[in-house]
Amino acid sequence: MQIRASDTDFVSAGGGSHSGRSLRFSSIVMHKATAEIIERGRKIAAFMLNVNPEEIDFTDGHFRARGSNGVVSLFEAAQAAENDLGLPDELRGTLAAISDETTHGLAYPYGAAVCEIEIDPETGFSIFRVIRQSTTSARR
């Protein structure tokens, strides 16, 4: 896995990194990409084991055919996708996925940061002296 951040020559979409939103969105896109890789790997393993994809379970990095001893590791499936000329065209090639996610509403932060500053009453400008500050996060 390769993660690129702040590379606008490479990353064509996104809104930058902001607080808890970054981890939440990255976990969503990683989950979606992982699910896509596993699904394609399931089809490759099913072809290799001569069973239907619905008969393949994925656990602990291995595709297992139900009711048999047939097992294909994720890495074996990836290698077969790269090298096996017997696979159907749609299963050939690098075992990889790209995922993107768009928020359709507002995102709310997980916590709050508060800062109190002093304002000079004669000029109306802040004196740039922090009187007190606090950071909190919601816990249940």
Tell me how crowded residue 28 is: count the other CB atoms within 10 A of its CB: 14
CB neighbours of 30 closer than 8 A, spacing ≥ 6? 99
Encoded tokens for 23: 């981890």
Tens digits of residue pLDDT in 71-111 = 999 999 999 999 987 999 999 999 999 888 776 665 555 56
Tens digits of residue pLDDT in 11-68 = 566 555 555 566 677 788 889 999 999 999 999 999 999 999 999 999 999 999 999 9
Burial class (CB in 10 A: 0-12, 13-18, 19+), 72: buried
